[in-house]
Amino acid sequence: MHELSLATALVEQLQEIMAREGVQELVSVTVAMGVLSGVEREALEFCFPLVVEATPLKGAILKIVETPLCFRCPRCQREWQAEKVDFAPCGGCGSAPEIIDGRDLVIRSLEVT
């Protein structure tokens, strides 16, 4: 199950941050989930508590915010967002855009005691 390994990786990353920052107890974590990340939100929400159960993060709440797809024009640097991949050309100069955000699952903030 993909989301289980994702949750495990997320928890490992969180433990590293907590060790580095000297955080003892985590109340919640907010992660940004790109619409293109391919992550099933509900599956991740289901797996997270199972993974943290055996760690010092037990009881921490996972909050997920979905991030839209962001495009940037490599030619005129114009940036815009879209709900889905359509690769519409840049409205300014007609160049093909590149995706700059909306693909990954990233930790955005931690709430600690």
Nearer to Zn ion, 38 or 92 (CB): 92
Binding site for Zn ion (CB under 5 A): 73, 75-76, 78, 90, 92-93, 95
Nearer to Zn ion, 42 or 98 (CB): 98
Measured between alpha carbons, how far is 104 from 35 in angstroms, rounded to an integer?
8
In the complex, least distance from residue 78 CB atom to Zn ion, rounded to whole angstroms? 5
- Whose tokens are 């433990």? That residue is 15
Nearer to Zn ion, 10 or 97 (CB): 97
3-state secondary structure at position 23:
coil
3-state secondary structure at position 86:
coil
